[in-house]
Amino acid sequence: MFVMTADQKGSRRRGDAVPGLLTAVSAWAEEWGDPFVLPVQRTVGDEVQGVLADPAAVVSLALLLQRLGGWSVGIGAGPVTEPLASSAPASAGEAFVLARDAVERARGRAVSVPLAVAGAEPRAAEEAEALLQLLAAVVRRRTAAGWEVVDLMARVGTQREAANRLGISAQAVSQRLDTALWHEETRLHPLAARLLRTAEVAA
């Protein structure tokens, strides 16, 4: 199982960003067909937590939070105490402890981006963290023009249709996608998911 804990950065300066995050996550979950075992909700203060079983959804959600910005994200991959409680904050198990360790590390300056992974299999978790940090760095540097095309591609599926919707050439769409490193990013999602799955079970 995968527990994701996210802690808002600089909440005293920015105000409470949890409602905005929950709205964004709700829209994302609809697109994914509600992948949560237990939905993301506020734990205490400016922290949220949710539980997922699908590592591909974990990758997607982690990158969504990095796109939103202002969040330290910790992913715990491991067993949970079953049956789970009615909410993530009320539940327990190794994955929750690992998520706590990960988000604490994500808050620090030792990580290149505010995202960390801790798992029952530490080596796989370390590799998953390195790859997710690389993907997060790509996401965090993507321009508004890049996101416009990336988001449209997710809806329409083809560069030709995206070009028609935007009123630009297919070549211009291709150039934006190349600059956004969209192909490279999406091709690495399955590898990140496999590493998370491996991290879930102790060797």
Per residue in 46-80, pLDDT (tens digit) is: 999 999 999 999 999 999 999 998 999 999 999 99
Q: Where in the chain are the domains?
A: 2-140+195-199, 144-179
Q: What is the pLDDT of residue 110?
A: 72
Q: How far apart are CA 203 and CA 191, in angstroms?
A: 19
Q: What is the pLDDT of residue 67?
A: 94
Closest alpha carbon to 166 in 179, 24, 158, 139: 158
Confidence bin at 11 (pLDDT 50/70/90): low
Residues in contact with 158: Cβ distance below 8 Å, sequence separation at least 6, in sequence order: none
Residues in contact with 110: Cβ distance below 8 Å, sequence separation at least 6, in sequence order: none
Confidence bin at 116 (pLDDT 50/70/90): very high
Q: What is the pLDDT of residue 147?
A: 94
% of the chain residues with pLDDT over 90: 80
Taking the C-alpha atoms of 41, 189, 119 and 125 in order, what is their torsion angle to the nearest 10 degrees? Answer: -140
Q: What is the pLDDT of residue 112?
A: 76
Q: Give me the phi and psi of 95, to 5 degrees please.
A: -60, -35
For the structural domain made of 2-140+195-199, what CATH number should be given? 3.30.70
Give the torsion sign (CA, 50, 55, 60, 62).
Answer: positive
Q: Which residues does residue 2 pair with via DSSP β-bridges, in sequence order?
A: 52, 77
pTM for the full model? Answer: 0.93
